[in-house]
Structure 1
Amino acid sequence: MQVALVGIGKIALDQHVPAITSSPDWVLAATVSRHGGVGGVPAYTDFAALLAERQDIRVISLCLPPVPRFAYAAAALKAGRHVMLEKPPGATLSECHALEGLARAGRLSLYATWHSREAAQVAAAKAWLADKALRHLSVTWKEDVRRWHPGQDWIWEPGGLGVFDPGINALSIVTAILPEPIHLTAATLSFPDNRQTPIAADLRFHHPGGAEVSAVFDWRQEGDQTWTIKAVTDAGTLTLTDGGAQMAVDGVRAAAQDDAPLTGEYPRLYSKMARLVQAGGIDMDLSPMRHVADAFTLGRRVTVAPFHW
Structure 2
Amino acid sequence: MGNTIKVLPDSLVLPYEMDGMGSPAPSLTDVTFLAPLRIGPAHWAQVWQAEVDIPRTSATNTHSSRVVVKLYDPAWFPEGDSDSSAMAEDIAGREAWAYATGRELQGTRLPESYGFYWFNLNGGRVVCGHVMEFLDGDPPERDWRSVKAGTWDEGEDRRMEEMADMMDGLNELHNHLICHGDLSRRNVLMRRVPVPVQKGTKACRFCFLDFGRARKISLVPCFSTRDIARYGDDAYGVFSCLGGIEDYRRLVRWIMDNRQQCEWGRVFQDARRMNTLVQGAVVMEKTYRTRAGVDFM
Larger Cα Rg: Structure 1 or Structure 2?
2
Normalising by structure 1, we get a TM-score of 0.25
Which structure has the higher relative contact order (CA within 8 Å, separation 6+)?
1
Normalising by structure 2, we get a TM-score of 0.26
